[in-house]
């Protein structure tokens, strides 16, 4: 089984927050699940290590996270979901000028991760299931895999 690890889980480990989500990663490690992520996760983690790629690589190696390139199928899945998101996003009225502005709650990186996970993995390990459930409905959450064991 291949499971995509979202940045949120790795941040939880680094900040020692949301223990139940950390435990899911450690359960996957104990089961020798193949944990992978796209390079955007590496980029999102970099500030936690103040740009020290050696320390970041050590952390990732310790947690057995492999990085794989974002291929065309992943980018297509990401772009399709991103376009659906852009069509749905809320418009808010500027209180000062009255112009309608787009309210953006998610970033393209979320969609790259979802596209990667849906194209290359069996499930995703994340704390942010909402975006992935809504825009990648066929993508299983790793918590469902734990229930089946």
Domain boundaries of the chain, sorted by first residue = 2-147
Low-confidence ranges of the chain (pLDDT < 50): none
pLDDT at residue number 49: 97
Give the predicted TM-score (pTM) of the model: 0.85
CB atoms < 10 A from the CB of 93, how many?
10
pLDDT at 51: 94
Strand 123-125 relative to strand 2-5, pairing: parallel
- Domain at 2-147: CATH architecture: 3-Layer(aba) Sandwich (3.40)
Place of tokens 């990663």: 25
Give the pLDDT of residue 142.
86
Which pLDDT belongs to residue 33? 95
Residue 97 exposed, middle or buried by CB count within 10 Å (0-12, 13-18, 19+): exposed
Q: Give the orientation angle of helix 108-120 with respect to helix 72-88, to 10 degrees.
A: 130
């Amino acid at each position: 089984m291949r499971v995509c690890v979202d940045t949120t889980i790795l941040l939880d480990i680094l900040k020692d927050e949301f223990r139940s989500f950390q435990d899911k990663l450690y359960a996957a490690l104990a089961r020798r699940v193949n944990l992978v992520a796209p390079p955007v996760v590496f980029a999102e983690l970099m500030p936690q290590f103040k740009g020290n790629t050696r320390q970041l690589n050590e952390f990732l190696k310790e947690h057995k996270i492999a990085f794989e390139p974002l291929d065309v199928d992943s980018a297509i899945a990401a772009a399709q979901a991103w376009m659906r998101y852009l069509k749905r996003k809320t418009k808010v009225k500027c209180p000062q000028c009255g112009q309608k502005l787009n309210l953006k709650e998610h970033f393209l990186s979320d969609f790259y991760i979802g596209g990667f996970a849906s194209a290359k993995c069996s499930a995703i390990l994340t704390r942010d299931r909402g975006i992935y459930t809504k825009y990648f409905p066929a993508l299983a959450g790793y918590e469902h895999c734990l229930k089946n064991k």
